Amino acid sequence: MATLAKEYTEAATAKAEVTKEAVAGAYGLSAAITVVFNVVLAFIKDSYPPLNTFMAQLSGHHWRTHGLADVIVFFVLGWIFSSSGIPAGGLTRGSVITVGTATVLACAALGLWFLFV
């Protein structure tokens, strides 16, 4: 009987780890997409003053609205991805590299944008 309980506990622990990995992978993908969204939104609102003004009116400052939009995109995409099982592999080295690459490229793009525009 003790062996059966131990096997059940190990199986439950393994399943919980797989679930945590899947959620971490989903939110990792969400983070990479949110980083790209952040840069695109910065480019668009700086290029289109009516959007910048509208965003400033929503929360008192355009950067505050920008940040809220980023947080909403992150959590909504993370929830969608974790509910649908995307990405299938969970948190992997590739997903970590994807988030890191997106972040570095976004920093470079924003730096160049604000330097030259």
Q: Is residue 2 pLDDT above 70, yes or no?
A: no
> What tens digit of pLDDT does each residue of 100-112 get?
999 999 999 999 9
Total domains in the fold of the chain:
1
> What tens digit of pLDDT does each residue of 16-36 get?
777 788 888 889 999 999 999
Instruction: Count CB atoms within 10 A of the CB of residue 55.
Output: 19
> What tens digit of pLDDT does each residue of 37-94 get?
999 999 999 999 999 999 999 999 999 999 999 999 999 999 999 898 777 676 777 8
Q: What is the pTM of this model?
A: 0.81
Give CA separation, 21 vs 6, 34, 111, in Å.
23, 20, 33
Query: Cα 116 from chain centroid?
Result: 28
Query: Residue 102's domain spans which residues?
Result: 2-116
Model confidence at 1, in pLDDT bands (50, 70, 90)? low
Residue in the structure block whose two tokens are 């490229």: 105
